[in-house]
Amino acid sequence: MTKILIARNLPESVVAEARAAFDVTYRDRPDPMSRDEMLASLSDYDGVLMTLGDQYTAEVFAAAGVPRARILANFGVGFNHIDVEVAKHAGITVTNTPGAVTDATADIAMTLILMSCRRAGEGERLVRMGNWRGWHPVQMLGLHVTGKTVGILGMGRIGQAIARRCHYGFGMEVAYMSRSEKTLDHPATRYDTPEDLAANVDILVTALPGGAQTHHTVNESVLAAMRPHAHFVNIARGDVVDEAALIAALQEKRIAGAGLDVYEFEPRVPDALRDLESVVLLPHLGTAALEVREDMGRMAVANLRAFFAGEPVPNPV
């Protein structure tokens, strides 16, 4: 029977579905695999269901030699933790789980937009610490979101879902930057560079894939282009942002605030970020709803099932 490694703890329904189709070894742990575990995953199993944090780098593939594994079924849409080209040269198919994550991630973007602009995290801390002295007319004034302009870096599935929520839910004007013009069901203005986009919006949201091509897209020059009242939100990948430049912009109050669900060196979050009241910090909650994680798991298992049945995988990368 085909041997599959499930490399992280997953919803039980997903594990049961995989066990019904394969000889499964279940690594029921929340932490990423070590280098030795990744080497063993390539040499001891026919396929691996793995996820963010399992760093299948070129060095790991080189050290593994000729792999037994023929497929890495990634649990998640982002795959910048896998050197896909090297995997393909080694004869390994890589798949992901697009679609299942779109709405949940867009919802977290809206959560961060509202929390950052309306200073919700700061306000909750005030109440929890017993420091709230009651309502008054100029207490914790934030940015009114309705009717403002949102700028979206990356207008793929998730970016478009965020744009729809902003436009139809909050009457916001939509601007974006992407490699190509998009056909949308609402008005939107396209800009050619991240700097041009940043200069013309009240809220800047990143919805870019991770990887070498997007590394530090949001850098010092993009942050410098933002207006002083503007807020920045990242629900993409941490390395899309130059974290040091973002910290400096926030410390110097060159932008009003930020909402972050991902970090450049995740799970490490710099003290400088944690010390800033103007930042909302979430622990990578983008897809953290049971039904979403179950959908992601079923997609990963479907990719495995199709591959070993000799059929085209539904979600190749």
What sign does the CA torsion over 153, 156, 159, 165 have? positive
pLDDT at 270 (0 to 100) = 97
Query: Per-residue pLDDT tens for 109-142?
Result: 999 999 999 999 999 999 999 999 999 999 999 9
Q: pTM (2 decimals)?
A: 0.92
Contact 205, 113 (CB under 8 A): yes
Q: Residue 59 has what pLDDT?
A: 97
As a whole number of angstroms, the longest Cα–Cα distance in the chain is 69
User: What are the residue ranges spanned by the domains of the chain?
Assistant: 3-100+289-308, 102-281
In Å, how far are 183, 233, 240 from 202, measured between CA atoms? 23, 11, 20
Question: 3-100+289-308 — its CATH code?
Answer: 3.40.50.720
Please compute the mean of the pLDDT values over residues 210-217 and round it to a whole number.
91
Give CA–CA dist 313/308, Å, rounded: 9
Inter-residue contact 231 to 259 (CB < 8 Å): yes
Q: Do domains 3-100+289-308 and 102-281 have the same CATH topology?
A: yes
Contact 232, 280 (CB under 8 A): no
At 212 the pLDDT is 86
| Cα distance between residue 121 and residue 35, in whole Å | 37
Mean pLDDT of the chain: 96
pLDDT for 210 equals 86
Q: What is the pLDDT at residue 78?
A: 87
- The helix/strand/coil state of 31 is coil
Q: What is the percent of the chain with per-residue pLDDT over 90, rounded to a whole number?
A: 96
- Size (the chain), residues: 317
Query: Catalytic residue numbers?
Result: 237, 266, 284
pLDDT digits (tens, 9 = 90+) for 221-246: 999 999 999 999 999 999 999 999 99
pLDDT tens-digit map of 1-59: 999 999 999 999 999 999 999 999 999 999 999 999 999 999 999 999 999 999 999 99
Tokens of 152: 């979206």
* Distance between CA atoms of residues 51 and 239, nearest Å: 17
pLDDT of residue 211: 83
- Report domain 102-281's class: alpha beta
